[in-house]
Chains A and B, each alone.
Chain A
Amino acid sequence: MLRIDISPRENEKPLISNLILAASLLAGLAAIGVVFLAKGVNPFFAIYKIFSGSFGSMYGFKETVTKSIPLILIAAGLTIAYRGKFWNIGAESQLLAGAAAATWIALTWAASLPAWAAILLMFTGGFIAGALWGIVPAILRVRFGINEVISTLMLNYVGAEFIKMLVIGPWKGKTQFGFPYTDDFPETAQLALLGNSRIHFVTLIIALAVSALVYVLLFRTRFGYEVRVIGENQEAARYAGIDFYRTTIIIMIISGGLAGLAGVGEVAGLHHHLTYPESISSGYGFTAIIVAWLSRLNPVTAIFSGLFFAGILVGGDAIQISLNLPAATVNIFNGIILVFLIMGEFFQKNSVTIKLQGAKWNR
């Protein structure tokens, strides 16, 4: 007789929690292996390729750090939103909004400004643009009761089409030989890179600082407290006189704004022009959702989960080329790992005992 007993854990011990987290990640990797196997690719080889591609060489690691920058920035914003149970799935287009604003500033003003002023202006503008784009679903939610998952996703499509419209239309560069690019940014609007890498360190520093600030904001301030109360029990928040409208709007100003900053980093640090959305962001807005979730909605640990997922993106690129896989492969990684993470949460919250004829295993 097999009997499964499930009972909630009295208190979650950090050690057990972390072990389960690690186990879920491993199980997720194993599941990814199965997908490779089904595709006729040796799973061990593929997974080895992913991690050697991202963490195994200096070049790979630099790329990993580069790609972690937008992930960390966006994830920091998402931790706030998700703590308040505002399911912002729209970071992808909030990033684009930031990128577009930075582009406009770079092409309009930057040539006549000193570099520091141009950069400052671009980041400010990018934050504001991302925030404004982020406020839209917040207003739709508080004023019209529209589910933010749907609205942020719809706005992703709208935002992407709008950027396409710009780069093949009015913003199309005169010096780009018919490519769907804007003109290149003047040098004052380009971020410096670290050594011979593509790490635009200014954005990296901003990302790290933002993570720390968001942590303080969440766990040390009145605003963070109100966000967490809203997220955990909206009825109690109402009872406690917390202004749901105001808080939701601020949540999305921050969340959208930080995604906007990530967009500025991408165009000012790497591309130096605006182009098709899929070239500006390789799904950072979506991957950051999992980064935030893996960090258990803690912006500081999100730095590490951001690095981890940046590694998967870089490694994913590597095997896409060497194993001839489609770009969507990364979606599989993201999806599978997210599924296993939320499965792991069940075991973090509940202890499961399997009894078999007197024998007993504990998990």
Chain B
Amino acid sequence: MRKINDLEMRGITKSFHGFYANKDINLKISSGEVLGLLGENGAGKTTLMNILYGLYRPDAGEIIINGEDARIKNPKDSMRAGIGMIHQHFMLVQNHTVAENIALGLDDVPFFFPDNYIRKKISGFSQRFDMKIDPDKKIWELSAGEQQRVEILKALFLEADLLIMDEPTSVLTPQESKDLFGIIRKMADDGHSIILISHKLDEIMEICSRVAVIRKGITVGGADIGDVDKKELARMMVGRDVDLRFDKVPLERGERVLEVKELFVNGDRGNTAVNGLSFSVYRNEVFGIAGVSGNGQRELVEAITGLRRSSSGEIILEDDAITNKSARVVNTRGITHVPEERIKFGIVPNLFIYENAILKKHHSKPFSRLMFLDYDLIKNHTENIVERYNISTPSINVPIKSLSGGNIQKLIIGREIESKPALLVASHPTYGLDIGATEYIRRQILARREEGGGVLLVSEDLEELFEICDRIAVIFKGEFMGILKAGDADIKDIGLMMTGSLKLPVQEAE
């Protein structure tokens, strides 16, 4: 028996501290439909879905299921109503088994020995939707695609008829995405309805039957997928015509700035995360590293920037060996670093903006003389960065946590390229930023390339890599599956390489 034949959200409004995340939004979906919810980062898609799932309560508006007011106050209510949600960041307990994760939200599992019950029931679902999963594996042992399957299973166990998926492909390889779409189709045929949150147009066109577009918290359009094309959707999403191509100036690459030779690095669990990599980065070049996260990118970046020891191999910066030198030494020699998870690594949220603007440089002249910090100079310097990099803030005398993500990232970028480093290492620099800030950050990286710096860019965003890189290396399980020139790289090959099914001979000559 279906719990949800059709569902409607009417006049949903939600504000956070005076900003409207959602304003009078209407949305409708029926059984067997796949609805695409399209919008930029920060447009309010996730907020809307969190309201539907009962995580937030709307200031106004109602949710109507099968013609009746659903009164969803918390996730439990929505789960009972037949709504399931798969968050962009999986809501899984890493140290627990698959079975334990599934049992967590279930009301009808037996109190004692709940795992046994799950184990019995799991195979039925696996067969119906063609997903394989071992219920006794710990989550951290699973790949991103497998973890997503656990999330889907969680929803199926809860008898969810409507499944919300927030950016489900963002952590998947192209192959895994294809598998996921297969599962989604099977579920839709089975009578489930699916809401797919995404900002990727291709995806929406491929899998959805209908699409709704929101921008800055309001619904700006909706259509059956047959009636629109990509260009139209893009215009609705951004509010203007966009040309996502950058005018990358063709440049001859300069001399070599970084050389990595036969590098081996261990991961946190003692595994070999970087497995004998060799490559070089040159001046006037952006060298990209593509791959699904968790394939050694983090360890490689940390080894280069002095945050992690390598077990063997060499890292050479302009003829200087910097292998296993401390982060401070590496930084002083000319490598700067825009870290992943910027809030966690890149800033000190409670310190003032000007104190954050000298992080890493605080120990050296001119900011530090003898033991003392020259705060006048530091504030001047910060004012400069704020102005030059268009950071919008009421003052530099506020804790940096009060800035938006985009502005925080601009400050980090500004801080890291202000000293004109020989090599800029940037990890996922535009992750989670809105389109404006993303464009800005990418332009700054390209500007650094034109000025003669080398850039090592780690990203999961293939579009980004294609736009700004000169060469792209694909990493899989700590090894390069190939190094492609910007011209000859096409998505199909990269997808295979990211999953390890294709390896090109790496020619690192020239």
Contacts and interface: CB of A to CB of B under 8 A. Distances in A.
Q: Are these two chains actual partners, yes or no?
A: yes
Interface of A: 7-8, 10-11, 220-223, 225-226, 228-229, 232-233, 235-243
Interface in B359-394: 359-360, 362-363, 368, 371-373, 375
A28 B312 CA distance: 59
A241 B351 contact: no
A225 B347 contact: no
A240 B360 contact: yes
Contacts of B316: none
Q: Is the interface of A mostly helix, strand, loop or mixed?
A: helix
B398 interface: yes
Given A220-B372, A222-B373, A239-B327, 18 more contacts: A7-B17, A11-B398, A221-B371, A222-B363, A225-B355, A225-B362, A225-B373, A229-B348, A232-B351, A233-B347, A238-B345, A239-B307, A239-B346, A239-B360, A241-B306, A241-B363, A243-B326, A243-B328
21 contacts: A10-B402, A222-B363, A225-B362, A226-B362, A226-B363, A228-B351, A229-B348, A229-B351, A229-B359, A235-B344, A236-B359, A237-B348, A239-B327, A239-B345, A239-B360, A240-B327, A241-B327, A241-B328, A241-B331, A241-B363, A243-B328
Contacts of B355: 225, 228
B309 interface: no
Nearest to A223: B371
Interface of B: 17, 306-307, 326-331, 337, 339, 344-351, 355, 359-360, 362-363, 368, 371-373, 375, 398, 402
Nearest to A8: B17
Contacts of A220: 372-373, 375
A115 to B, nearest CB: 33
Contacts of B350: 232
A251 to B, nearest CB: 15
Which 6 pairs show the lowest CB-CB distances between chains A and B? A241-B328, A241-B327, A240-B360, A232-B348, A233-B348, A239-B345
Most buried by B among A10, A220, A235: A235
B299 to A, nearest CB: 14
A283 B173 CA distance: 61
Most buried by B among A226, A228, A240, A243: A240
Contacts of B359: 229, 236, 239-240
A237 to B, nearest CB: 8
B393 to A, nearest CB: 12
A240 B307 contact: no
Nearest to A224: B373
A238 B327 contact: yes
Contacts, number: 74
Contacts of A11: 398, 402
Contacts of A232: 348-351
Contact of A222 (B344, B360, B371): B371
A238 B309 CA distance: 13
Most buried by A among B337, B348, B351: B348
Nearest to B16: A7
Nearest to A239: B345
A236 B345 contact: yes
A235 B347 CA distance: 9
Contacts of B346: 236, 239
B328 A222 contact: no
Nearest to B305: A239
Nearest to B329: A241
Nearest to A228: B351
B377 to A, nearest CB: 13
Contacts of A236: 344-348, 359
A240 B351 contact: no
B345 A222 contact: no
A38 B375 CA distance: 54
A221 B355 CA distance: 12
Most buried by B among A7, A220, A236, A243: A236
A238 B307 CA distance: 7
Nearest to A238: B307
Nearest to B306: A241
Contacts of B402: 10-11
Contacts of B344: 233, 235-236
Contacts of B331: 241
Contacts of B339: 239
A118 to B, nearest CB: 31
Nearest to B341: A235
B405 to A, nearest CB: 16
A228 B349 CA distance: 11
A339 B21 CA distance: 37
Nearest to A237: B348
A228 B371 CA distance: 15
A215 to B, nearest CB: 13
A241 B331 CA distance: 8
A228 B307 CA distance: 20
B309 to A, nearest CB: 13
A83 to B, nearest CB: 11
Nearest to B308: A238
Contact of B368 (A222, A228, A239): A222
A241 B360 CA distance: 6
Contacts of A239: 307, 327, 337, 339, 345-346, 359-360
A243 B328 CA distance: 9
